[in-house]
């Protein structure tokens, strides 16, 4: 085994999750600012400056001001090597977020102080709960009018079923926002609206025993309210317990404003102290320890056309153990072949840096000639094990896709298949109709817009989408079932997927049971497997 401990122990790999517009991308940028990775934080919507958010690289993201793909960003801060996985906030892209969370060791949940826990946060949190990963909460936008602080905490506890432990406490909000109280150090940090995009602020720290200083800084009313709230908080809130945090049972809560840069550095420093080094991972050969095992990794994302000039595909891998070195040979387990990873790189949004080495906890992108699938394992040539697979979400919306110019059939098929291999859409063909038409299934309808946009811009193919009424999909898991002989219902359609697996689509949920009753020995499953 190599002496990887020092490098692995300084790594922190986390995902940022939130409802759209809670300020996730702004917070990500401020982290990069503190790490010296960027010098000016770009405005997400391009209002304050002409720049776009560094983590939003796809054209449609820049136009709409939303993140639709997960970006990977790495930077150094205070001796730590930090890998941030930025995720789409919109629920139509929850499948991409789920896969990204599989590659993270913890999650930062960003909540808008005026809205509390929103529908999408709930859904994403369930995904974190399934993995049992630590969750850290940043309640953002305190510089705007916010909900009652105790109500915000109640909301998190009730909606997400996790206890909260505020690390700091806000003093007012909106125009009356005076700063935060640091519970551990028992001092007030005053709020100042720093110049957007810079990291220098004029905050002051005032000890809680300095009554005159506090009165001058925040005023009598705010001080009286703060004292009452802290007394109530000390009696009612859960005590900080690092083990509970690491088991995903308790979330440390921080208050601040990412836009004005208040509370971001405080959060980052506490987060790095509380979060863990890269975690061990389960495989079919047992638990794989990051520092005590040679190189291994799994693919959690595939992205085509990140570089328009080269029309390439990049497979993103989470290194789970050991060290990757340039030109080393690795085994692609699912493909049963030994290979050299081509052009391993770290990707800062759409900028790339070729790597000589990387360690457990790091995310690397490698050129994919079309051999990788989501969930694939890579390990040393003499080994053979597989990491746990990543389930495929069942699509809920379907449409028939037709190309407008029939002469562009080749580009059309290539484009649809490449986008499907990324996992954003699933494609099916009608069974035994002899028709060349393709049916697309998506988890969220916004994916149809992305498909249309990308086919036009990346493959020069215009398409027409015809919505279909199907809402339920089932994979046929019985091996001896003949698709021809299945006795169906009037609202059922027989299709096959990219790998020629047989599937059934239904309009009505009750039809599933009727088909099972009519076909002895038939077994159906809701989830596909990578």
CA distances from 156 to 29, 139, 159, 251 (A): 25, 11, 5, 9
Residues 12 and 74: their CA atoms lie apart, in Å, by 10
Chain centroid to CA 15: how far? 6
DSSP β-bridge partners for residue 329 = 340
Residues 38 and 97: their CA atoms lie apart, in Å, by 25
Q: What confidence score (pLDDT) does residue 436 get? A: 66
Residue-wise DSSP of 62-117 = HHHT---S-EEEEEEETTEEEEEEE---SGGGHHHHHHHHHT-SEEEEEEETTT-S
Residues 249 and 128: their CA atoms lie apart, in Å, by 11
Q: What confidence score (pLDDT) does residue 269 get? A: 92
Q: Which tokens go with 186?
A: 């028992």
Q: What confidence score (pLDDT) does residue 163 get? A: 92
Q: What confidence score (pLDDT) does residue 71 get? A: 61
Residues 381 and 232: their CA atoms lie apart, in Å, by 59
Residue-wise DSSP of 486-501 = ----TTEEEEEETT--
All structural domains of the chain, each given as residue ranges with its CATH number in brackets, are 14-72+96-274 (3.40.50.300), 281-379 (2.40.30.10), 391-529 (3.30.70.3280)
Give SS3 for 240. coil
* Confidence (pTM): 0.75
Residues 400 and 441: their CA atoms lie apart, in Å, by 9
Q: Which tokens go with 84?
A: 């941030």
CA distances from 416 to 301, 305, 367, 409, 441 (A): 17, 13, 19, 11, 12
On whether the CB atoms of residues 97 and 390 are closer than 8 A, the answer is no
Residue-wise DSSP of 190-235 = E---PPTT-------EEETT-HHHHHHHH-HHHHHHHHHHHHHHHH
Burial label for 378, CB within 10 Å (0-12, 13-18, 19+), is: buried
Q: pLDDT digit string (tens) for 20-77? A: 777 777 888 888 787 765 544 443 333 333 344 444 444 544 454 433 344 677 888 8
On whether the CB atoms of residues 99 and 391 are closer than 8 A, the answer is no
Return the HEC string of 359-425.
ECCCEEEEECCCCCCCCCEEECCCCCCCECCCEECCCCEEEEEEECCHHHHHHHHHHHHHHHHCCCC
Q: What confidence score (pLDDT) does residue 44 get? A: 34
Q: pLDDT digit string (tens) for 278-290? A: 999 999 999 999 9
Q: Which residue has the tokens 């990500």?
A: 28
Q: pLDDT digit string (tens) for 321-369? A: 999 988 889 999 988 999 988 777 765 544 567 778 899 999 888 888 7
Residues 88 and 18: their CA atoms lie apart, in Å, by 8
Q: Which residue has the tokens 């150090």?
A: 185
Residues 145 and 51: their CA atoms lie apart, in Å, by 28
Q: What confidence score (pLDDT) does residue 457 get? A: 80
Residues 6+ apart with CB under 8 A from 290: 4, 8, 277, 278, 279, 280, 320, 321, 322, 360, 361
Instruction: Quickly count helices (H) and strands (E) in the chain.
Output: 13, 33
Q: Could you give phi then psi for residue 277, rounded to 5 degrees?
A: -70, 170
Look at residues 360, 330, 400, 359 and name the one whose alpha carbon lies nearest to residue 105: 360
Q: What confidence score (pLDDT) does residue 416 get? A: 84
Give SS3 for 246. helix
On whether the CB atoms of residues 269 and 155 are closer than 8 A, the answer is no
Crossing angle (nearest 10°) for helices 149-160 and 119-131 = 50
Residue ranges, the chain, pLDDT below 70: 1-3, 36-71, 87-95, 120-121, 123, 127, 193-202, 304-312, 346-352, 391-393, 433-436, 527-530
What kind and span of H or E run contains 25?
A: helix 24-34
Q: What confidence score (pLDDT) does residue 42 get? A: 40
DSSP β-bridge partners for residue 510 = none
Strands of 502-506's sheet in order across? 463-468, 397-403, 438-442, 426-430, 492-497, 502-506, 472-476, 524-525
Chain centroid to CA 8: how far? 22
């Amino acid at each position: 085994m190599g002496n990887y401990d020092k490098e692995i122990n300084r790594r922190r790999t986390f995902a940022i999750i939130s409802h759209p517009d809670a300020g996730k991308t702004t917070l990500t940028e401020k982290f990069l600012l503190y790490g010296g990775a960027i010098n000016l934080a770009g405005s997400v919507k391009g209002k304050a400056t002409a720049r776009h958010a560094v983590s939003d690289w796809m054209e449609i993201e820049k136009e709409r001001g939303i993140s639709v793909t997960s970006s990977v960003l790495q930077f150094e801060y205070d001796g730590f090597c930090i890998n941030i996985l930025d995720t789409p906030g919109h629920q139509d892209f929850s499948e991409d977020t789920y896969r990204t969370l599989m590659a993270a060791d913890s999650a930062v949940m960003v909540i808008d102080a005026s809205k509390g826990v929103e529908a999408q946060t709930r859904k994403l949190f369930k995904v974190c709960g399934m993995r049992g990963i630590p969750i850290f909460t940043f309640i953002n936008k305190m510089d705007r009018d916010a909900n009652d602080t105790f109500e915000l905490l109640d909301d998190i506890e009730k909606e997400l079923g996790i206890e909260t432990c505020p690390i700091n406490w806000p003093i007012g909000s909106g125009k009356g926002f005076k700063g935060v109280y640091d519970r551990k150090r028992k001092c007030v940090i005053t709020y100042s609206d720093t110049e957007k995009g810079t990291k220098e602020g004029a905050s002051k720290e005032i000890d809680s025993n300095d009554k005159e200083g506090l009165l001058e800084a925040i005023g009598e009313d705010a001080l009286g309210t703060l004292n009452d709230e802290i007394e109530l908080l000390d009696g009612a809130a859960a005590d900080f317990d690092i083990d509970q945090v690491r088991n995903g049972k308790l979330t440390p809560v921080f208050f601040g404003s990412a836009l004005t840069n208040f509370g971001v550095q405080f959060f980052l420093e506490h987060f790095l102290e509380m979060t863990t080094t890269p975690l061990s991972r389960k495989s079919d050969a047992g638990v794989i320890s990051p520092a005590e095992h040679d190189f291994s990794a799994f693919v959690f994302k595939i992205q085509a056309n990140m570089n328009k000039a080269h029309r390439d595909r990049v497979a993103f891998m989470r290194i789970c153990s050991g060290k990757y070195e340039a030109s080393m040979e690795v085994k692609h387990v699912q493909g049963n072949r030994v290979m050299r990873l081509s052009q391993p790189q770290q990707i800062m949004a759409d900028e790339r840096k070729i790597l000589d080495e990387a360690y457990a906890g790091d995310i690397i992108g490698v050129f994919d000639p079309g051999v990788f699938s989501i969930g694939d394992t890579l390990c040393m040539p003499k080994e053979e094990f597989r990491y746990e697979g990543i389930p495929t979400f069942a699509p809920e919306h379907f449409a028939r896709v037709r190309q407008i110019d029939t002469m562009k059939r080749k580009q059309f098929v290539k484009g649809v298949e490449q986008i499907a291999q990324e996992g954003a859409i699933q494609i099916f063909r009608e069974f035994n109709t002899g028709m060349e038409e393709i049916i697309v299934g998506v988890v969220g309808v916004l994916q149809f817009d992305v498909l249309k946009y990308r086919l036009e811009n990346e493959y020069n193919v215009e398409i027409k989408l015809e919505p279909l009424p199907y809402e339920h999909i089932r994979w046929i898991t019985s091996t001896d079932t003949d698709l021809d002989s299945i006795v169906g219902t009037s609202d059922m359609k027989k299709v096959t997927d990219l790998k020629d697996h047989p599937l059934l689509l239904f309009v009505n949920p009750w039809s599933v049971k009727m088909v099972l009753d009519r076909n002895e020995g038939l077994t159906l499953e809701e989830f596909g497997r990578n």
